[in-house]
Amino acid sequence: MSNFTTVVYRDSLNVAIIKNVVTVVLCIFINFINGTLVHTFRKHQVFNMNPRYILYIHLVLNDMILLTIFTLIMVLSYIVYTLNISFCMFLLSIGLLSTANNPFTLAVMAVECYIAVCFPLRHSLICTVRKTYAVIGLMWLIGLLTVLPDIFYALATESLDFFRSRMFCLSANVFRNPVLKERRDVSNIVCLVIIWLTIFYTYFRIMCVAKAADTCLLMSNFTTVVYRDSLNVAIIKNVVTVVLCIFINFINGTLVHTFRKHQVFNMNPRYILYVHLVLNDMILLTTFTLVYVLSYIVYTLNVSFCMFLLSIAILSNVNNPFTLAVMAVEHSLICTVQKTYAVIGLMWLIGLLTVLPDIFNALATESLDFFRSRVFCFSANVFRNPVLKERRDVSNIVAVRTIRFIISILIHVLPRLISPLVYGLRDKMFRKYLRKYLPS
């Protein structure tokens, strides 16, 4: 038996009881709800003839099987501790098969929805009940092809005594060949990548088709004409922007965390100004990314919400050059922490004086319906006074969309990384403490 087991540490009695009670109660509760859904599906013919509901119920049934198998293995592992290998292999095979079916079902449901929205006239011809059950059968066949190799290999290589023995029911104890484990990992990764790309593409395509009527949006007095990117270009732009935002904000957040955790920085005016610069960069980058992504997802935003986001961005944008200028004269003019925070407050006040005139002018001249309407979130669409427009640099002067995207990345995104690197990492003391929080 020593060749067939691994060391497993058991819970105390109280912990075991709590875990099992919670698991069983949740299993019963969830399966009761899922069973009610299945019963509803069976009792009404309108669902039985709709491919979408057939796929949905198939997903529910897979969830019920998977949850039941998981709960059964967990409870048995506490009651009898070890299970017969053959019985354990049977339970694990069913669990693996149901696990493989779920993402495939989600992908097929996404494709069905895509066909219904993008090809409504052909939906009834493409998505029939017979084809739906054929696709479900294909899913189970693919699932079997991922499970059967492990079973056949175990039958071919393991002795009869192995299948008669008892051990803790773990996949690693039953399917012990490391090559098979690597094959499962690779196949799972490949399948999940294909499935999630399918789901992402179909739902993004559905979103674009649903907004097709707004491709050249011209809403009387509230909007300007905006031309939308193709699906592939939109995906690339959003992925690049979001990934850069997360990466740069992670670095900036680590710098701020280092500043907060060490008193030596909190009492130094230079580091206070530096972290103020970093925080402004994080606010500006997050606001820019939020407006950018929302402009692709919902296309138009409420004017009041858009004005709020633009005001925050303009305020942070104004603060940055002032912070750089104060950092340049820090040694000669600023000597105390109190004066440093006073200067930071003065910077925010100056920033407010540049933003508030636009807001007050809009409140005084625009109607209430304007603030309730939805526009493409663009500075020229919200602050429409021509006199105020003359003193703002607006991005709509760039005619080519690709150039506008590159410029926005260079202006709004990449500087959020450059500033921390230039003003933080070159400082020896700050760099020394920073290393404690960076992943090794």
Is 1.20.1070.10 the CATH classification of the domain at 13-210? Answer: yes
Tell me which of 3.40.50.1400, 1.20.1070.10, 3.30.1360.10, 3.40.50.920 is the CATH number of domain 231-434.
Answer: 1.20.1070.10
In this predicted model, which residue has the larger pLDDT, 229 or 416?
229
Q: Work out the angle between the directed axes of helices 303-328 and 337-365 (0-180°, nearest 10).
A: 150
First to last CA, the chain: 41
State residue 119's pLDDT score: 80
Q: Which residues pair with 167 in a beta bridge?
A: 83
As a whole number of angstroms, the distance between CA 119 and CA 123 comes to 6
pLDDT tens for residues 179-221?
777 777 788 788 888 888 888 888 777 777 666 544 444 344 4
Residue 359 in contact with residue 311, Cβ under 8 Å?
yes
Using alpha carbons, list the distances in angstroms from residue 71 to 53, 67, 96, 169: 27, 6, 14, 12
As a whole number of angstroms, the distance between CA 31 and CA 27 comes to 6
pLDDT tens for residues 93-137?
888 888 888 888 888 888 888 888 888 788 888 888 899 999 999
Compute φ and ψ for 82, nearest 5 degrees.
Answer: -115, 145
∠ at Cα 356 (298, 390), nearest 5°? 80
As a whole number of angstroms, the distance between CA 380 and CA 357 comes to 15
CATH 1.20.1070.10 residue spans of the chain: 13-210, 231-434
**Local structure of residue 49 (DSSP, 8 states):** T
As a whole number of angstroms, the distance between CA 403 and CA 177 comes to 54
Q: Which one of 1-10, 225-234, 253-262 scores highest in mean pLDDT?
A: 253-262
pLDDT (average), residues 130-152: 89
As a whole number of angstroms, the distance between CA 254 and CA 430 comes to 11
Using alpha carbons, list the distances in angstroms from residue 104 to 41, 192, 408: 21, 9, 38
In this predicted model, which residue has the larger pLDDT, 433 or 298?
298
Nearest to 383 by CA among 226, 228, 222, 217: 222
pLDDT tens for residues 326-352?
776 665 445 688 888 888 888 888 878
Residues with Cβ < 8 Å from 339, sequence gap 6 or more?
Answer: 269
State residue 205's pLDDT score: 76
Residue 296 in contact with residue 236, Cβ under 8 Å?
no
Compute φ and ψ for 159, nearest 5 degrees.
Answer: -80, 165
Percent of the chain whose pLDDT exceeds 70: 78
Beta-strand pair 374-375/166-167: unpaired
As a whole number of angstroms, the distance between CA 148 and CA 423 comes to 58
Q: Give me the sign of the Cα torsion angle 181, 184, 188, 189.
A: positive
As a whole number of angstroms, the distance between CA 57 and CA 42 comes to 10
220: left (phi over 0), alpha (psi -120 to 50) or beta: left
Strand blocks (E) in 45-130? 83-84
pTM (predicted TM-score): 0.49
As a whole number of angstroms, the distance between CA 69 and CA 101 comes to 15
